[in-house]
């Protein structure tokens, strides 16, 4: 398990309280789980993702991640329509451990309200919250 100071929390992302991250990329939002979540889960062995075309409200459950330790639900940090799913995770769920912000992304969303990104935490706020949890 990583110490808080070892966590990778890039400053170009926004973070949800349930440890999902969101990156605004022009007209879409890419989503995954953060370094803290993948570290706490341990080896990820299965990921259940939604279908392209599914729509969710902000905070709705959109995916399930199973590790050797636990099964957790993931909640969409911004509402909208799923426009891409990282199908590589079906064969290689461990990408979420190796590269949570790169190859381990989960979905891309066409946000129904891009201003929902403003309600998410910065990397500094996320780290402060984690410190409060310990």
**Taking Cα atoms as reference points, which of 112, 120, 125 lies closest to residue 22?**
120
- Could you tell me the pTM of the whole model? 0.94
**Residues 28, 109: contact at Cβ < 8 Å?**
yes
- Would strands 80-85 and 71-75 be described as parallel, antiparallel, or unpaired? unpaired
Instruction: Residue 101: count other Cβ atoms within 10 Å of its Cβ.
Output: 19
3-class DSSP state of 124: helix
pLDDT score of 63 more than 70: yes
Q: Which uninterrupted H or E stretch holds 38?
A: helix 35-41
pLDDT score of 1 more than 90: no
Domain covering 11-133, topology: OB fold (Dihydrolipoamide Acetyltransferase, E2P) (2.40.50)
**Residues 108, 79: contact at Cβ < 8 Å?**
no
Would you state the pLDDT for residue 133? 73
Percent of the chain with pLDDT over 90: 91
Domain boundaries, the chain: 11-133
């Amino acid at each position: 398990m990583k110490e808080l100071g070892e966590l990778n929390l890039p400053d170009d992302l926004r973070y949800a309280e349930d440890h999902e991250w969101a990156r605004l990329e022009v007209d879409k939002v890419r989503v995954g789980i953060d370094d803290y979540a993948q570290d706490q889960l341990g080896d990820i062995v299965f990921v259940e993702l939604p279908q392209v075309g599914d729509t969710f409200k902000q905070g709705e459950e959109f995916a399930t991640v199973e590790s050797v330790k636990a099964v957790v639900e993931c909640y969409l940090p911004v509402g909208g329509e799923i426009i891409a799913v990282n199908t590589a995770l079906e064969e290689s769920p461990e990408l979420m451990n190796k590269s949570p912000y790169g190859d381990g992304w989960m979905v891309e969303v066409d946000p129904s309200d891009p201003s929902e990104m403003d309600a998410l935490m910065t990397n500094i706020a996320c780290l402060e919250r984690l410190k409060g949890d310990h």
